[in-house]
Amino acid sequence: MRTRVLFCFVVFGVAAVALVSSSSAATTTRQLSQIDVSTRAAVIDYLRSIHVDPTGVVIQRGSHNYAGAKCPGKRWSCTTTEHTVVQVAPAGGQNAFACSTVNCAVVQYAPAAPVNNTASCIKTGGLSQACSITQSNSTGGDNTAIVYEKAATSAGLTQTAVSKATITQQSTSGSNTACVYQETALSNSSTAGGALTLTQESHQTVTVTQDSTSGNNSAASSAFASGSCDPANPITQNQTLTATNKGPAKLTQKQNAASKGANVTIDIAQNQGVAYGVASGTNDANFVQNSTTTAIANSANGPISQTQSSVNGGLLGTINQDSSGGSTATTTQNEIQCEDAATAGLTSCDTADPDASEAPASLIQIQFGPIKKGLGDSTQTRGGAADIFTIVQSAQQDNDQGSGSSQTEDVEGDCITDGDCTVDQTVVVDGVEYGNFASGDEVDATITCEGSDCETGGGGD
């Protein structure tokens, strides 16, 4: 098996965007990009520029704008969330969005005075889920965005799940808060009379972009299905793929085997746009990524082929922060891969039993978990000793260790900070454990394995 888990940080220059009506313009310490939303045509142009479907867009211009299933009352202007919604509120107004329909996309804008923008996107059905929330407060209101996505199935021999959450928030002196929970569970326990091929593919993506010149940015909490933040837990991405198949002939199990990029991805950019170099509020980013793939195969005659992940798959995490007020980043990545095969009798993946002789004569077991390096290092800037970066990574692989086995683990963690960064890595391959720890203001730590033969590298300065 070949598996590679790697924490990769990329520096992005993400430009925050402020919308403007025909009568007012947004200004901050830095001039914001101005986009006219005074006409429907202008709104459609803007939505297309941020890759949001403008078909049937609903534009709300009122003091209290609400989109969702339960209108708060008579003073509110209410609509549904079947199509993209754009909400523009004047001084003293409020924008609110609560979506659980097939399409969830909203742009909330406060052009003249502080207005609180709140948006929630709850997806608990279907295998294709997408939430897009854009919030802009040109004069200092608070933005809160909540995304909860949960996808699961046990039906079919071809299972594909895609979950996306995109949150963009900008405020001059107000706070930005993003809370996200994603979970995907694909399982299959089919019994075949002949040959069987199972294909499971899952991709989860979270993108959070926050800019505030003097307010605080937080992308550090999970979310509840009720549409509220879960401050007791970090932003969470869970992915579980389970295959338990049997039959008399050829069995093929493919779990995230297509080479279509990382299977669990998160990108958090705080004050990398208009607030870069001038922000004074605090930044807080905290997330955990968990990926578990389990393949169990019983075939009297074989052959058996099991593949987990791909050269470009695995886990990917990105955090970039800037503020004179200090930044905190806490990241956790856990990946577990297990493959087990026999002629009969297996009901669980036995990590304590690597005996390939229990399987048919033809047995191929392959594991990948790589994540490409990206475009650059993670950086925390201008916070001095208040900047703290913590990276914890763990990877575990097990299979039957036969002649058809291929295993690779590559774990990488790096960051550059004005304060202190620590990287704590653990890899266990077929029961053999390796660890690596590094700290400093510039850290690049690695564990690279071929089978259970591992090497540690890098360090901190």
- Compute the radius of gyration of the chain from its Cα atoms: 24
pLDDT digits (tens, 9 = 90+) for 3-41: 333 333 322 222 333 333 332 233 333 444 456 788 999
Q: Are strands 264-270 and 315-322 parallel, antiparallel or unpaired?
A: parallel
CA angle 326, 327, 331 (to 5 degrees): 160
**Predicted pLDDT at 372:** 52
Average pLDDT over the chain reads 89
For the segment 283-303, the average pLDDT, to the nearest whole number, is 97
pLDDT digits (tens, 9 = 90+) for 252-277: 999 999 989 999 999 999 999 999 99
Question: CA of 183: how far to CAs of 129, 132, 163, 213, in Å?
Answer: 11, 17, 9, 33
**Predicted pLDDT at 8:** 36
Residue pair 271/322 in contact (Cβ under 8 Å)? The answer is yes
**Sign of the alpha-carbon torsion through 3, 6, 12, 15:** positive
Residue pair 274/16 in contact (Cβ under 8 Å)? The answer is yes
**Predicted pLDDT at 370:** 61
**Predicted pLDDT at 460:** 76
Q: Are strands 304-308 and 251-255 parallel, antiparallel or unpaired?
A: parallel
* Cα 81 to Cα 223: distance, rounded to the nearest angstrom: 20
pLDDT digits (tens, 9 = 90+) for 127-137: 999 999 999 98
50 versus 91: which is more confidently predicted?
A: 50
For the segment 328-346, the average pLDDT, to the nearest whole number, is 96
User: Which contiguous run of DSSP H or E holds residue 270?
Assistant: strand 264-270
For the segment 218-231, the average pLDDT, to the nearest whole number, is 98
pLDDT digits (tens, 9 = 90+) for 283-292: 999 999 999 9
For the segment 232-238, the average pLDDT, to the nearest whole number, is 98
8: closest CA among 322, 413, 285, 409? 413
Q: Could you tell me if residue 60 is left (phi over 0), alpha (psi between -120 and 50 degrees) or otherwise beta? A: beta
Q: Considering the chain, what percentage of its residues have pLDDT values greater than 70?
A: 90
Question: CA of 250: how far to CAs of 54, 354, 440, in Å?
Answer: 48, 21, 52
Q: Are strands 405-429 and 432-450 parallel, antiparallel or unpaired?
A: antiparallel
Of the listed ranges 7-11, 160-164, 345-349, 450-454, the least confidently predicted one is 7-11
The winner for highest mean pLDDT among 138-142, 310-314, 372-376 is 310-314
* Cα 418 to Cα 374: distance, rounded to the nearest angstrom: 21
* Cα 385 to Cα 227: distance, rounded to the nearest angstrom: 36
What 3-state DSSP class applies to 49? helix
For the segment 204-213, the average pLDDT, to the nearest whole number, is 96
* Cα 104 to Cα 81: distance, rounded to the nearest angstrom: 7
**Predicted pLDDT at 376:** 58
pLDDT digits (tens, 9 = 90+) for 387-411: 999 999 999 999 999 999 999 988 8
Domain boundaries in the chain?
17-460
pLDDT digits (tens, 9 = 90+) for 38-89: 899 999 999 999 889 999 999 999 999 999 999 999 999 999 999 999 999 9
DSSP at 204: E
DSSP at 385: G
Residue pair 309/316 in contact (Cβ under 8 Å)? The answer is no
What 3-state DSSP class applies to 309? coil
For the record, the structure tokens of 181 come out as 């929970």
Question: CA of 278: how far to CAs of 103, 134, 324, 365, 394, in Å?
Answer: 36, 22, 8, 52, 36
For the segment 429-443, the average pLDDT, to the nearest whole number, is 95
pTM of this structure: 0.92
For the segment 398-426, the average pLDDT, to the nearest whole number, is 93
CB-CB neighbours of 150 under 10 Å: 17
What 3-state DSSP class applies to 356? helix
54 versus 115: which is more confidently predicted?
A: 54
For the record, the structure tokens of 395 come out as 């990877």
Question: CA of 296: how far to CAs of 152, 253, 311, 323, in Å?
Answer: 19, 9, 22, 49
Biggest alpha carbon distance in the chain? 77
**Predicted pLDDT at 137:** 87
**Predicted pLDDT at 357:** 87
For the segment 85-100, the average pLDDT, to the nearest whole number, is 93
